[in-house]
Every structure is written in structure tokens, then in C-alpha cells.
Structure 1
Amino acid sequence: MTHSIQADSGWRVWWQLTRPHTLTASFAPVFLGTMIAINYTDIHWGLFLAMLIASLLIQAATNMFNEYYDFARGLDNEKSVGIGGAIVRNGVKPKTVLSLALLLYLIAAVIGIWICSQTSWWLLVVGGAAMAIGYLYTGGPFPIAYTPFGELFSGVVMGYLIVIIAFYIQTMSVTVEASLLAVPSTLLVAAIMMTNNIRDMVGDAASGRKTLVILTGRPVGVMILASFFAISYLWILALVIFNDLTPWTLLVFLSAPKAFNVVKTFKRYTAPLEVMPAMKATGITNTLFAFLLGIGLLIHHLL
């Protein structure tokens, strides 16, 4: 398995800066929350699109904050794997990256205000907290990404919370069913962060980070990653058996081979470039799982 890192040019510089393989962590929860809501009410597609765009902007901005602060702390160089590379490989000024991230946050905030005007102003508090965590993930004096809690915060905010907000803006309520169906999303977004931390654990350890996989060791970290996948699938199966969830949601198992291959790759390879395909596959797994779960709920609604 051979890969190489090359500088980008033109629009690819800015596209890679968003770290596109992570953006599914925003799309999938919004779609899922909306599909859960479809069995409760008629969908307001304007609110859906607004929520989707705002979430994508926040995720992209978070990635740019990551790029900026890792460069500022001397953690990234032209050979770093998994970064957008706009600063160290493509010559974009660090302040430009930071300014672009802040601009995306501003646009997301304006969209969020409109969503609040159509639903509830309490969402300002929730949305503001989510945006603050996105910034503090790598920004501020005590970055969350440098602690063992990166997977927890990213999973809860980008997985669980986005599902619940997407559901809430359609139904103006939060139900037990919505909360239960948001659990796999939480775990799969955490899995995206876990693959990132497994890949980067050598460099992270050298820089003084204390991520979960650094504290547990790589073999245990891979086992935790596998458990995120396993629990996600078993969770849906349990809801079908014990909680009267429609069997159509078992469509999620069509994505299981992708998750299996992710774990197999991380067990077989250790070099950052060698595991990059598995990282992208984790994002795809997250998207497929949410899409298939949402489609299962939609089929149940239509029938």
C-alpha cells in the first residue's frame, strides 16, 4: 500500500482545508434527526436545509481552527498526514485560515438565528455551546483534542446533539425514541475522532498530547474503535427486538462490512499513510449507517 503527500492547487487548496472526509459527521446526524421526525410531523424542508448548511459550516470551521492552532503550536509540517495542508504545504497565510474559519462561524451563526426565530430562542444557548466546543477542540489554553475526552465531546456534540436539534426544530419536542436513535450517531462520530487519534498517536505523544489512545495504547484503542462499531449495530438490533423499532432499520447492517474493513486495516497497518483509507471509510460508514437508518424510518412512515 503506497501513498504520497502532494501540494494542492487552485480550488483544491480550499476544499482540502475543510477536510472533506470529516464533513459527513455533520450531514449524517442532520439527515437522521429529520428522518426520525418524519414519523411525528410534516417536515419543514427550509429548516432542514438551514440546519444542514449551518452544521457543515461549523464542521468546516472547526477543521480550520484545528489547522491553524496545530500550525501555531508547531505540530504540523509539510509531511503531516491528515491535515488540509493549506498552511504548511500550499503557502496560505495562517491568519487567512483563521479569518476564513471565523467567517464560516459568522455565517453559521446568522443561519442559526434564523432557525431560532422559526423555532425556539433556547437553541441559541445550545448552538452557542456547540460552536464554543468546536473552537475549544483545538483552540484556547486547554484544547479538548489534547485530552482523553476528544471522542466524548465530538460524539456528544456532532453526533447526539445535532440529531436532537434536527429533530427538535421539526417537532418542537425531544422524545425517548429520538434520544435512543441518536446513540449510534454519537458512537460513530466518536469513531471518526478515534481513527484520527490512532493514526496520529506517535506524533501526538511526542507533542505532549494525552489522547485516549495514547493513555490506553494502540491495541486497546483499536478495540475501543471496534466496540464503537459493534455497539452501534447491536443497539439498533436491540431496539428492534425490545423496543418495537421497525425492522426496516436493520438496513444499517448493509454498512457493516465497511466498518469491519476499517478495524481490519487498523489491525494490519500502523503507518499514518497506510491507514488513511480506513479513516475515510469510517466517515463513509457513519454516513451509510445514518442514511440507511433514516431510509428504514422513511419506509416505515410511507407504509
Structure 2
Amino acid sequence: MHTQFEAHNVPSLEPDKNWRIWWMLLRPHTLTAAFIPVTIGTVMAFKEGFMNIWLFLAMLLASILIQAATNMFNEYFDYIRGLDNAESVGIGGAIVRNGIKPKTVMGLALAFFAIAAALGVYICMISSWWIAVIGILCMATGYFYTGGPKPIAYTPFGELVSGFCMGVVIILISYYIQTGMIALDVFLLSLPISILVGAIMLSNNIRDLDGDKENGRKTLAILIGQKNAIRFLASMFIVSFILIILFVVTGIATAWSLLVLFSIPKARQAVKQFIGKKKPIEMMPAMKSTAQTNTIFGFLLSLGLFISFLI
């Protein structure tokens, strides 16, 4: 376990690299998990003739801030628990490699939460104060995902919780604040997005399987083993595509939603990049491809929905 002062005995940072350090602290590859659901929920509201651009922007920024803060809590608590060091793979590295103080990371995360809460007040004033209850629960989930005595990320439920909150909940809220309604088709279309957000978490846990096991975590990847976890990841991709096809066949979505099928090659690539890999650094491309699958799938679904509403 590293000591508290080791992370800060580093040379001063070059000015042109400072922005990259803060940018990587946000873990930008995960932020589309906030952007895509808000966009889909808003596009579905547009179908019903509702579109308040300021509500959309407020919801989008609040979701991104909560996601970024959650990433910072992750970095902070993993450092405090001695799980991260300068050789750790795949983390932002602001604390252990770049010399940023842990309290600075925590303070920035709390500041992001405060701004998100202020945006939430604005959203509630225009829509419903019930949104505040859901917003508080989402923020609590973001904190306790890696914080608290029994972090969610250390259990087999990390994929389920993150997928539900970042998929179903955000899409439904984004739709509700625009329309004042909840619709079955919106809920159904949120399911494949939820699955793909969960897939991002699973890919992270596959990469970190050995280290997490040594530190006493009991993630889904640890419980079922690496090979089965990769198979489960592949099944998550398959189910997401099948759901869209079923929605088109049953009339819940139009044929334009089949644009998501163009993201299949990226999903296949993600699975193939995991197969046979043992070292975390070797699995980084697979993690990136998994996140890109969610981004491409979500963008194409949003585009397909939008086109279908225009014609």
C-alpha cells in the first residue's frame, strides 16, 4: 500500500499538460453514458411536440457533472483505500501520478455535485419537485458507488445499478421534464441503453479482475470468471441489438432505429479484443471499444428516432 505523501513528491507539471491532467480526471470516455440517455429522452419528447432547449441543456450538464463527480469519487476512494498506485492501469491518475491532492479531487467532485444540484432546482421549478427526490437518489448512488463502508462497485450489482441509473432513470427523467408524462415506449427504448452502460462497467471489471480479487472485491466478473464475463459481455451486446429489432417488428420503433446495427462491428471488436488477454494494459483497447459501442449505438438510435419523427 502506498503512503499518502508519495503521490505528491513529483516534479512540477508542465503548463501545456495541465489541461490534459484535469481532462483525464473527468474520464471523458465515460461521459457519453450521461450524454446519450439525456439526448434519447429529449428526442422522444420531441416526438410528442415538446422541446424546451434550456431544460435539455440543464439536464445534460447536470448529468455530465454527476457522472464526472462519480469518476472523481472513484479515484479518491480507490486511492484512500490503497487500491491505486503509479503503476495502476486505466485510472485518471490525477492523484497517484500527477500529484493532485486527494482533498482537491474530493472538493472538485463536491463542487460538481453542488452545480448539478443548482441545475436540478431550475429543472424542478419548471417541471416537478418530485424530480428532486430522484436526483438526490442518483447523486447518492454516484457517491456510494465507490464511497461508504460497502461500495456498490465492490459487489456484483455494479453493472445493474449503473445501467439502471444512467439508462432507464435518466432517459425517463429527460422525457418527463419535457412532457410531464411517462410513456411505455420510452421505458422500453431505455432498456438497450441501460444494458450498454452496464457493459461499460463490466468491461472495466473484466480488466481489473485480478487486482479487484486481491483487494477483496466481489464483482460480477470475479464471481463468474474472466471467460464467462467476456461471454456475458457479448450477450449484453446481442440482447441490445435484438431488443431494437423486436421494437421495430412490434411497431414500438420505426425501421430507422435499425441504424444501430451499424455499431455491431465495434461491439464485435470489443469482445475480440478481450479474448486471450491477461494483462490489464492489454485490455484497455477492449474497454475503449465497449464505451465506443455505447456511444455509436446511442447516437444512431437518437438519429433514427429523430429522422422517423420528421418524415
> What TM-score, normalized by structure 2, do the two folds share?
0.94
**Amino acid in the other structure paired with 2:209:** M
Separation in 1, partners of 2:279, 2:44: 39
Matched, 1:198 2:206: yes
Matched, 1:116 2:124: yes
Partner of 1:3: none
Q: 2:35–2:64: 8 Å Cα contact kept in structure 1?
A: yes
Matched, 1:31 2:39: yes
**Amino acid in the other structure paired with 1:205:** K
- Of 236, 239, 257, the residue aligned with 1:231 is 239
SS class of match (2:275): helix
Separation in 1, partners of 2:289, 2:116: 27
- Of 4, 17, 20, the residue aligned with 2:28 is 20
Partner of 2:10: none
Deviation at 1:42, TM superposition (A): 2.7
Partner of 2:215: 207
Gaps of 5+ in 2: 1-12
Matched, 1:57 2:65: yes
Once the two structures are overlaid, the 10-residue window that deviates more, 237-246 or 225-234, is: 237-246
Separation in 1, partners of 2:252, 2:77: 47
SS class of match (2:91): coil
Instruction: Render the CA deviation track for 1:138-161: whole Å, top value 9, x for unaligned.
Output: 001110000000001000001111
Partner of 1:48: 56
Deviation at 1:180, TM superposition (A): 0.3
Instruction: Render the CA deviation track for 1:87-136: whole Å, top value 9, x for unaligned.
Output: 00001110000000000000000001100101000000001000000000
Partner of 2:271: 263
Partner of 1:155: 163
SS class of match (1:182): helix
Deviation at 1:203, TM superposition (A): 0.2
Partner of 1:4: none
Matched, 1:250 2:261: no
Deviation at 1:15, TM superposition (A): 0.6
Separation in 2, partners of 1:192, 1:217: 17
- Of 122, 146, 150, the residue aligned with 1:138 is 146
Separation in 1, partners of 2:305, 2:137: 30
Deviation at 1:270, TM superposition (A): 2.5
Partner of 1:288: 296
Q: 2:185–2:252: 8 Å Cα contact kept in structure 1?
A: no
**Aligned positions of 1:175-190 closer than 5 A:** 175-190=183-198
Partner of 1:77: 85
SS class of match (1:155): helix
Instruction: Render the CA deviation track for 1:158-195: whole Å, top value 9, x for unaligned.
Output: 11111111111111111000000000110000000000
Q: 2:40–2:171: 8 Å Cα contact kept in structure 1?
A: yes
Partner of 1:101: 109
Deviation at 1:294, TM superposition (A): 1.1
Q: 1:41–1:170: 8 Å Cα contact kept in structure 2?
A: no
Off by >3 Å, runs of 4+ in structure 1: none
Separation in 2, partners of 1:255, 1:171: 30
**Identity within the alignment, %:** 56
Matched, 1:241 2:243: no
Partner of 1:218: 226
Q: Give RMSD over aligned pairs.
A: 1.1
- Of 78, 92, 95, the residue aligned with 2:100 is 92
Q: 2:40–2:302: 8 Å Cα contact kept in structure 1?
A: yes
> What TM-score, normalized by structure 1, do the two folds share?
0.96
Deviation at 1:244, TM superposition (A): 4.4
**Amino acid in the other structure paired with 1:295:** L
